[in-house]
Structure 1
């Protein structure tokens, strides 16, 4: 599939999350299940959170866009709580592999989509433009938002892991 240089760059940057997961899969399970701060999620819960959004993109958003429909995203609070709950039902090592595989499947699928599908304006929860930038919503625009979201959470986890190395979990 022929993609524009910028679109391809965005998809590959989105895929870089898998490399980050590879780096943290050797971290001790106890550390991965410890909250990053009081009242905050653990690294495992953060990974499950991103995993569940990846699954939603793959199972709902992309099919809807392909059908010419708008992108629909569930109510964030409930969706995110379910994702965090899921993290507590699976070993962190398995969760990381599942998250990596889900991201790789999603990236593969994005790379197979025609450029016109990726850049076609499509509503997101009924809105046609991002309220912050005024840019029209497109699938590739949403992927860019998810990259920003990934980076935010990766930094949280990296900072926590750096602190955990200085002060090991007992």
Structure 2
């Protein structure tokens, strides 16, 4: 039987099946903002990849070291991802990078249940101010699932 935590993680992985359908989007659409003042499809994918990379390289090691999760300023962090998407990298290459990173993260999450479920702080706060739920990496992945779906809906409106 699959636990709620495993289900959340597997849902996180399933997003790559949808992003596989984005291969060969015309370059004009790939880098065109989805709406005025918004990111492009390519920038969104780069943004998602950067957050997955950050979880792998910074958040998981911090939790293993008994520390809380520390997230950077979103705007400046996302700006780096947007610049990468506009750096000349092909959409197909970026989609492949995203899938490889997400797959690697999911493998870690599935093999480290103690790290995933451990209650830790997020930027010094113990519980989500909106839900009262204690923070854990699993809670962040649950939130990221909602975040992925938000971006999926944005992209679908453009396509």
Note whether the superposition's TM-score is higher than 0.5.
yes
1:42 to 31, 40, 43: 40
The answer to which of 50-59 and 22-31 deviates more is 22-31
User: What's the counterpart of residue 125 of structure 1?
Assistant: 123
> Which segments of structure 1 move beyond 3 Å, counting only runs of 4 or more?
none
Report the RMSD for the aligned CA atoms in angstroms.
1.2
The 1-side partners of 2:91 and 2:130 are apart by 35
The 2-side partners of 1:157 and 1:151 are apart by 10
User: SS of the residue aligned with 1:137?
Assistant: coil
User: What's the counterpart of residue 104 of structure 1?
Assistant: 103
Larger Rg: 1
What is the CA distance between 1:45 and its match in structure 2? Answer: 0.4
Structure 1 unaligned residues grouped into runs of 5+: 162-170
What is the CA distance between 1:117 and its match in structure 2? Answer: 2.3
Asked if structure 2 preserves the Cα contact closer than 8 Å seen for 1:33 and 1:43, the reply is yes
> Superposed, which structure 2 residues align to 1:81-160 within 5 Å?
81-89=79-87, 90-113=89-112, 115-160=113-158
User: SS of the residue aligned with 1:128?
Assistant: coil
The 1-side partners of 2:156 and 2:63 are apart by 34
What is the CA distance between 1:136 and its match in structure 2? Answer: 0.3
User: SS of the residue aligned with 2:123?
Assistant: coil
